[in-house]
Amino acid sequence: MCRIILLIALMVSPLLLGCAEKPSYSSYTDITVDEAKELIESGKAFLLDVRTPAEYKEVHIKGAYLIPLNELEDRLDELPKDKPILVYCRTGHRSIIAAEILVKNGFSQVYNMKGGIYEWIEHGYEVESGLTR
């Protein structure tokens, strides 16, 4: 009888543990280009472009710091931990991945600009070209 109870307990416990509430982790916040523009103009955010150097050279938002997505995890020490980070890319896909990487690595104020620089340009906001750093 004890063996049957033990066997049942061993079979049921993983199911019960799987239902336990998972710890909540910080997350990033999606924002529109209009909200991103306000955040940039406030001067309170660090603007991170995660596209390629060629894309950045072609066009970027003034003041953006370039760290291509494939280099981000190796260059996290270049980013401020005490300031909001606004991430953008071309259309918003790579910036989601970048935002997740930042959150996973302890950055707590991370914003993803939905629509990327394409949406930024579509709204008529200012951009510049060339390598600025």
The residues annotated as belonging to the active site are: 89
Token pair in block for residue 5: 């109870």
Residue type, 23: P
Residues 17 and 28: their CA atoms lie apart, in Å, by: 27
Residue 118: enclosing H or E segment and its boundaries? helix 116-122
- Collapsing DSSP states into helix, strand and coil, what is residue 130? coil
